[in-house]
Amino acid sequence: MGELKTVLIPDIGDFSDVPVVEVFVQNGNHVNAEDPLIALESDKATIDIPAPFTGKIREIRVKPGDKVSEGSPIAIIEIADSGGNTDTESVLRKPDSTEKNKRSEEATSEKAPQVITHAAQTESNENVIKAEVKQIYPASPPIQPAPADVAATKAHAGPSVRRFARELGVNLDLIIGSGPKHRILKEDVQAFVKAGLSRVCVNGKSAPVETGLNLLPWPQVDFARHGPVEIKSLSRIKQIAGANLHRNWVMIPHVTQFDEADITDLEALRKESNTAEKQNAVKLTLLSFLMKALIASLKKFPEFNASLDKNANGETNLIIKRYYHIGFAVDTVNGLVVPVIRDVDQKGVVAIARELSELSALARENKLKPEQMQGAGFTISSLGGIGGTAFTPIINAPEVAILGVSKANYKPVYRDGEFVPRLVLPLSLSYDHRVIDGAAAARFTSHLAEVLTDMRLALL
């Protein structure tokens, strides 16, 4: 075993009882002279205390939150390549004036501890990560901004962490620190970089791939400077729905397939059924027929009634649902809600229409229970009663597809050598391209259009 030496807080000017905000090392770590050991943060400055010599950390004497002054012991380091005896006595002694003197003597033979505020550090094991990053991103670092931007960040981090981040090109604003008061630690920067590296292996080779959205900050505009404004808070539903929509929009690679269904005969049947059904006080809406037709397509193309799932080994599987619970978007004064009709495959159009009407009423009165909004395998968003020709609905995760329906209109359709007026329903199917191919989506909407054109197909 090499010689053990205590590292003490050096002269840090007028500061005393300064809180330790970060400990960079652990027992057993190898440190090079001038690697930072701890960071202190006073009202005025953040100070890194470096190792005075190269060796192995044998004991750490401080933890975040402790207060230290000049002479306080920080750690015990076993000096590298020292053949000398262990001087435990002197090591464990409390620092006093003799110790201070001894320290100044040591300073002549060893490298004296220096206080680094924004000064440079020498090489350390950080180089492993830096080298990895350089190898994978030879030209431009993945997690950008220019050094000036990094330095200008208001992120809560000490100088050594800022420097480390600057060297790696990491924008500290993108990291939420795990230290006290979300202070960003070196490990947070390492974890951020590692997370980026783990996503860039293509066919066993490193590839320069963007790892974050790397967006510009949101524009800060004082709108009142341009004219009168009114501030209105978002409803709770809008806030919750908005967060979900945002995540789904960002995380799912959406593609939207557009199609049209000739529903002339279906509309005639619906109108006729409504006349006969009036005594039951249930209006058969297009949406109830649409749900029935949809089940036929979902049964033919099961991957549309599915969810992606990661198992314990990190493998991604597709969970195909053998139940048919369909969500439908309802427009309420407070925002969008999605009640769910369960086991649609086991219900007739009248029962579906009844549930549609009851659940939409509950949604508009803000009285839906959580279980009435859960378990959907597929969602329909119908804007047909309002208008529009097409739109791109956002998938309701963890589902993999959503059907948007716009307003049916009469169109001239070429048939048997002449144009005839037909009622045409626009369909917009957004799907998760990780699960569904474009060809499958086109087959799905074609099939759905066929069923809507001839609802007898729904019985097969």
CB-wise, 69 or 389, nearer to ligand COA? 389
CB-wise, 112 or 391, nearer to ligand COA? 391
CB of 288 to ligand COA, least distance (A): 7
**CA nearest to 372, candidates 328, 321, 319, 405:** 328
Is 433 part of the annotated catalytic residue set?
Answer: yes
Residues 6+ away with beta carbon under 8 Å from 332: 237, 363, 364, 366
CB of 267 to ligand COA, least distance (A): 8
Q: Are 295 and 458 in contact (CB under 8 A)?
A: yes
CB of 173 to ligand COA, least distance (A): 32
CB-wise, 296 or 405, nearer to ligand COA? 405
Q: Which helix (H) or strand (E) holds 206?
A: strand 205-206
Residues 6+ away with beta carbon under 8 Å from 19: 40, 41, 42, 64, 65, 66, 67
The count of residues in the chain is: 460
What are the helix (H) ranges across 137-235? Answer: 147-152, 159-168, 186-197
Which segments within 333-417 are labelled E, that is strand?
335-337, 340-341, 378-382, 401-405, 409-415
CB of 162 to ligand COA, least distance (A): 43
CB of 258 to ligand COA, least distance (A): 14
Coil, strand or helix: which one is 201? strand
C-alpha 271/C-alpha 401 separation (Å) is 30
CB-wise, 80 or 336, nearer to ligand COA? 336
**CA nearest to 171, candidates 119, 219, 113, 212:** 212
Structure tokens at 389: 């020709």
Residues binding ligand COA (CB under 6 A)? 285-287, 328-331, 336, 356, 360, 381-385, 393, 405, 407-408, 425
The catalytic residue among 156, 325, 433, 447 is: 433
In terms of C-beta distances under 8 Å and separation of at least 24 residues, what long-range contacts does 94-101 make, across chains too? Answer: 95/6, 95/8, 95/71, 96/71, 99/8, 99/71, 100/71
**CA nearest to 79, candidates 91, 93, 71, 69:** 91
CB-wise, 36 or 384, nearer to ligand COA? 384
CB-wise, 115 or 336, nearer to ligand COA? 336
CB of 353 to ligand COA, least distance (A): 8
CB of 336 to ligand COA, least distance (A): 5
CB-wise, 8 or 383, nearer to ligand COA? 383
C-alpha 51/C-alpha 43 separation (Å) is 24
- Number of helices and strands in the chain (H, E): 11, 21
CB-wise, 6 or 360, nearer to ligand COA? 360
Q: Which helix (H) or strand (E) holds 256?
A: strand 254-262
**CA nearest to 75, candidates 9, 128, 161, 126:** 9
How far is CA 328 from its chain centroid?
26
Structure tokens at 52: 């005075």
CB of 456 to ligand COA, least distance (A): 21
Residues 6+ away with beta carbon under 8 Å from 216: none
Q: Which residue numbers are catalytic?
A: 433
